[in-house]
Amino acid sequence: MSAATAPRTRWRLLIGVLVALGLLSAAAVGGLYWLDYEFRHPAPDSGRPGAWMSVDANEVSRFTRVGIPAQADDIRWGYKKGFQDDFAVLTFRIPQTGLDDFQGGLPVSRWAENKYIQSVDLDGFLHIGAPDPSNASPLTCGGYLSPGKAKNVATEICVASRSDGTSQVWVSAFHTP
C-alpha cells in the first residue's frame, strides 16, 4: 500500500464507523420511543396502569355506586385501571318522567348548574362514544363520596335534558384516598 492510499483508507474506515454509530443511535432512539409509547398506551385488558379493561355494565355500576334504571337506554360504560386509582365512566338516557326518581335515589346533597367538565372525564366519555357533556345546556351536576374497601370512591353525576323527551346522564367515578 502506498503512503497516499493509507490516509484514504483510514478516512473511509472513520466515515464507515461514524455512519454505523449514527444508524445505531437512530435505532436506539426509535426503540426508546416505541417503548415509551407502549408504556403510555397499554393494550386493553393488559391490567397495566392506563389500560381500559373489559368489564360489564353492572360492575361499573357497582364501582360508581350509581344504579342503572330499568328504563335506561343507550347504556355505555368504561373502566380504566390506574396505577393507584381506578376510573370508571357510565352514561345512559332515561325518560324525563323518571329523572326525579333517579336523582332522588342518589345521596347527592346539592345539584347545581355546571359548565365545566374535567378533561379526564371528557376523555373517558369520548373513549366510550358517549355524547359530549360540555355541549349540553343546561347541565346539572352533583357528586358524593362513598366508602370503599381500601379507598373512598368519588362519584360525579351530570344530567341534561334532550329534545327527544329523555335526559342524558353522565357518571364518572374514581378511587380517592
* pLDDT for res 95: 94
Say which residue, 137 or 39, is predicted with more confidence: 137
CA angle at 154 for the pair 84 and 158, rounded to the nearest 5°: 130
34 pLDDT band, cuts 50/70/90, is low
pLDDT at 85: 83
Q: Does 1 score more than 60 pLDDT?
A: no
pLDDT of residue 71: 92
Q: What percent of the chain has pLDDT over 70?
A: 83
The answer to whether residue 157 scores a pLDDT higher than 80 is yes
Q: What is the pLDDT of residues 91-143, one digit of tens each?
A: 999 999 989 999 989 999 888 888 777 877 888 898 889 988 888 878 899 99
Sheet architecture: strand order including 112-113: 52-53, 73-80, 87-95, 166-176, 152-161, 140-146, 112-113
Q: Looking at residues 159-177, what average pLDDT do you find?
A: 88
Q: pLDDT above 90 covers what percent of the chain?
A: 27
Cell triple for 157: 353525576
Tell me how far CA of residue 37 lies from CA of 25, 50, 95, in angstroms. 18, 12, 43
- The answer on pLDDT for 4 being more than 60 is no
DSSP state of 71: T
pTM comes to 0.73
Distances, alpha carbon 9 to alpha carbons 5, 12, 68, 101, in Å: 6, 5, 77, 87
* Residues in CB range of 71: below 8 A, 6 or more apart: 94, 95, 98
Q: Report whether pLDDT(30) > 80.
A: no
**pLDDT higher than 80, residue 73:** yes
Cα 61 to Cα 66: distance, rounded to the nearest angstrom: 5
Question: How confident is the model over 79-99, as a mean pLDDT?
Answer: 89
Query: What are φ and ψ of residue 79, in 5° steps?
Result: -140, 120
pLDDT for the residue numbered 91: 94
